[in-house]
């Protein structure tokens, strides 16, 4: 059963965005775009989240924070880097405190380009991420099944 | 001793999660429409819970799973006792015990947000408990029985004797349904205030159990509302629907209050509406004799 695709809960983190992309992410939740149509909920809790939206490049102070949030999210999970800063550091990439794009710290599944990324693009990025999320779930379920059957086979032989 | 009471309990255990999930879906749809949105599909709550069972089990303190399971079992038990026509006092106490388990589950995890949520849940418990007990006492004073089976089959229009108790019960129903203005422990709508309050540390199937328990709880509480109108089933069902719609409306038009105000509101309605109603009722009963 694929419930995951129908109920992706989002966690939004502002790494060091100028707030442009953040506003656009929040715009997706307003009545105009209403992403709750797709079962998307904005949770503030990594332990409840399936999709991790990051805006802005990573800086030296929050690289540990981003890693920590990512590790707290239960599998299966996807990361969507929103805006050009999250992809590469953008106009801030030469700054002394900027590490670079989000993929310098955690694996990224989908890059949404733009400065700022438009709500339509963000929704499109999240929908693409849902496909990847579903693949990951199938892989996880497959791995669990292999493990279970191996355990059963081992149990029967002993 | 007949076995008919068992049918009510079994039907509740099977059908209440379905009904509760549907009610939650309708709730989200109506809320979305009130906010000028399209809203999620009607079956969204089922997708959410199904999704939670598909997720990885991440547990820091395993004791919390036990407490949450106990919460689910005792909520289901109190609801089953209710629909089996059991003793209202026993039901109220089993119901309270269930929430104590939820609070213990939240305290088992080492998270400040979870602890704040647990404290607020205890405050909510203190806020609504007097009114629930007064409602049980009021129903007894009118029907001379604490048994739901007797109250549900009475020919007395209970609502006419207990209008104050009913209004008080509807007020604390807002706390119980985790709706604004009293949505302080789960922080359901103010997502990032205390992260997710009492459910912060629950994820995956544990969170799904909390959600299912909440569905059971909602059906049980709406059943309690029905008791006030039990003399006429049609009026009863309409009253339950109107009450729930009013709760959604209040949820959408009010801002959340602080815990002090939540506690005061719970006790003020218990004192002003509940006790006053019962005092007048008992005066009329003794005065008439």
DSSP string of A113-144, one letter each residue: --TTPPHHHHHHHHHHHHHHHHHHHHHHHHHH
Closest CA to A54 of A5, A104, A97: A104
Of the listed ranges A50-54, B148-152, B211-215, the least confidently predicted one is B148-152
Helices B88-108/B204-227 angle, 10° precision:
160
What is the rounded distance in angstroms from the CA atom of residue A140 to the CA atom of residue A138?
Answer: 5
Cα B64 from chain centre: 22
DSSP category for residue A112: E
DSSP conformation letters of B151-178: HHT--S-HHHH-HHHHHHHHHHHHHHTT
How close B25 comes to chain A (CA, Å)? 11
Interface test with B, best of A2, A6, A46, A77 (most B CBs within 10 A): A6
pLDDT at A16 exceeding the cut of 80: yes
Q: Average model confidence (pLDDT) for chain A?
A: 88
Cα A8-A10-A16 angle, rounded to 5 deg: 150
Q: Closest partner residue to A45 among B36, B38, B195, by Cβ?
A: B195
CA angle B99, B45, B92 (to 5 degrees): 25
Least-confidence region, from A1-5, B52-56, B137-141, B219-223:
A1-5
Q: Which of A4, A44, A75 sits opposite B51 (nearest CB)?
A: A4
Interface contact flag, B195 A39, Cβ < 8 Å:
no
Tell me which residue in B37, B40, B48 faces A31 most closely, judged by beta carbons. Answer: B37
Q: Of A37, A102, A44, give the one whose Cα is nearest residue A73.
A: A44
Structure tokens that stand for A23 in this block = 């506003």
Size of interface A-B (CB pairs under 8 A): 78
Instruction: Name residue, tokens 């001793």.
Output: B1
String of DSSP letters for A59-75: ETTTHHHHHHHHHHSPS
For B50, the closest of A1, A43, A75 (CB atoms) is A1
pLDDT for the residue numbered B2: 63
Q: Which residue has the higher pLDDT, A4 or A18?
A: A18
- Give the total number of structural domains in chain A: 1
Q: How many angstroms separate the CA atoms of A76 and A112, rounded?
A: 20
Beta bridge partners of A53: A12, A80
Q: Rounded to a whole number, what is the distance in Å from the CA of A43 to chain B's nearest CA?
A: 6
Contact between chains at A7 and B58 (C-beta distance less than 8 A): no
**Looking at residue A144, what is its pLDDT?**
80
Question: What pLDDT is stored for residue B288 in this prediction?
Answer: 53
Cross-chain Cβ contact B196/A43 below 8 Å: yes
> What CATH number did the domain enclosing A92 receive?
3.40.50.12280
Domain that holds residue A21: 4-157
Give kind and range of the element (H or E) at residue B241.
helix B233-253
pLDDT of residue B1: 47
pLDDT at B242: 94
Put simply, whether A44 touches B (Cβ < 8 Å) is yes
Record the tokens describing residue B199, joined without a space: 């459910």
% of chain A at pLDDT higher than 70: 97
Asked if the C-beta of B39 comes within 8 angstroms of chain A's C-beta atoms, the answer is yes
pLDDT score of B60 more than 90: no
Whole-number average pLDDT of chain B = 87
Q: Is B121 exposed, middle or buried (0-12, 13-18, 19+ CB in 10 A)?
A: buried
* A96 half-sphere exposure, CB direction, 13 A CA radius: 0
Contact B201, B114 (CB under 8 A): yes
pLDDT in the model for residue A42: 86
Chain A neighbors of B21, CB-CB under 8 A:
none
Tell me the per-residue pLDDT of B214-228, one tens digit each, with 9 for 90 and over.
999 999 999 999 989
Cβ–Cβ below 8 Å for B51 and A7: yes
Average pLDDT over residues B248-277: 86
Residue B244 pLDDT exceeds 90: yes
Q: Cis (ω within 30 of 0) for the bond into A76?
A: yes
pLDDT class of B103 with cuts at 50, 70, 90? very high
Q: Lowest-confidence range among A146-150, B68-72, B134-138?
A: A146-150
Residue of B nearest to A34 (CA): B37
Report the alpha-carbon distance of residue A21 to residue B115 in Å, rounded.
33
B274 contacts B168 by C-beta, under 8 angstroms: yes
The pLDDT-based confidence of A1 (bands split at 50, 70, 90) is low
Three-state DSSP state, A80: strand
3-state secondary structure B192-222: CCCCCHHHCCCCHHHHHHHHHHHHHHHHHHH
Asked whether residue A139 carries a pLDDT value surpassing 50, the answer given is yes
């Amino acid at each position: 059963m694929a419930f995951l695709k129908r109920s992706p809960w989002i966690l939004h983190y502002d790494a060091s965005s100028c707030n442009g992309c953040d506003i656009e992410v929040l715009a997706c939740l307003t009545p105009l775009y209403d992403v709750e149509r797709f079962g998307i909920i904005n949770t503030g809790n990594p332990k409840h989240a399936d999709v991790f939206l990051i805006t802005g490049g990573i800086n030296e102070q929050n690289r540990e924070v981003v890693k920590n949030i990512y590790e707290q999210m239960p599998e299966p999970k996807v990361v969507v880097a929103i805006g050009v800063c999250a992809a590469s550091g953008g106009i801030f990439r030469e700054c002394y405190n900027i590490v670079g794009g989000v993929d310098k710290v955690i694996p990224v599944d989908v890059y949404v380009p733009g400065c700022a990324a438009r709500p339509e693009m963000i929704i499109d990025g999240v929908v693409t991420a849902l496909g990847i999320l579903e693949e990951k779930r199938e892989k996880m379920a497959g791995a669990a099944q292999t493990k279970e059957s191996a355990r059963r086979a081992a149990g029967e032989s002993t | 001793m007949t076995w008919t009471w068992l049918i009510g309990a079994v039907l509740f255990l099977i059908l209440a999660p379905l009904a509760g999930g549907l009610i939650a879906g309708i709730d989200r749809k109506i809320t979305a429409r009130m906010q000028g949105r399209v809203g999620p599909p009607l079956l969204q709550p089922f997708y959410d819970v199904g999704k939670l069972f598909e997720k990885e089990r991440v547990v820091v303190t395993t004791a919390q799973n036990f407490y949450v399971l106990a919460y689910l079992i005792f909520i289901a038990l109190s609801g089953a006792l209710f629909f089996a026509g059991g003793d209202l006092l026993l039901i109220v106490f089993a119901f309270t015990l269930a929430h104590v388990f939820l609070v213990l589950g939240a305290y088992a995890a080492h998270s400040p947000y979870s602890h704040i949520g647990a404290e607020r849940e205890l405050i909510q418990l203190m806020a609504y408990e007097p009114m629930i007990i007064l409602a049980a006492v009021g129903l007894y004073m009118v029907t001379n029985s604490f048994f739901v089976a007797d109250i549900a089959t009475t020919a007395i229009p209970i609502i006419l004797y207990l209008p104050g108790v009913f209004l008080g019960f509807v007020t604390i129903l807002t706390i119980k349904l985790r709706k604004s203005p009293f949505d302080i422990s789960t922080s359901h709508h103010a997502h990032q205030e205390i992260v997710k309050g009492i459910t912060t540390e629950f994820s995956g199937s544990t969170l799904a159990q909390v959600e299912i328990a909440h569905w059971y709880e909602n059906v049980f509480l709406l059943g309690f509302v029905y008791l006030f109108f039990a003399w006429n089933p049609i009026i009863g069902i309409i009253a339950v629907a109107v009450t729930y719609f009013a709760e959604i409306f209040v949820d959408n038009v009010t801002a959340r209050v602080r815990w002090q105000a939540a506690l005061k509101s719970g006790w003020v309605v218990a004192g002003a509406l509940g006790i006053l109603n019962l005092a007048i009722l008992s005066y009329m009963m003794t005065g008439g004799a």
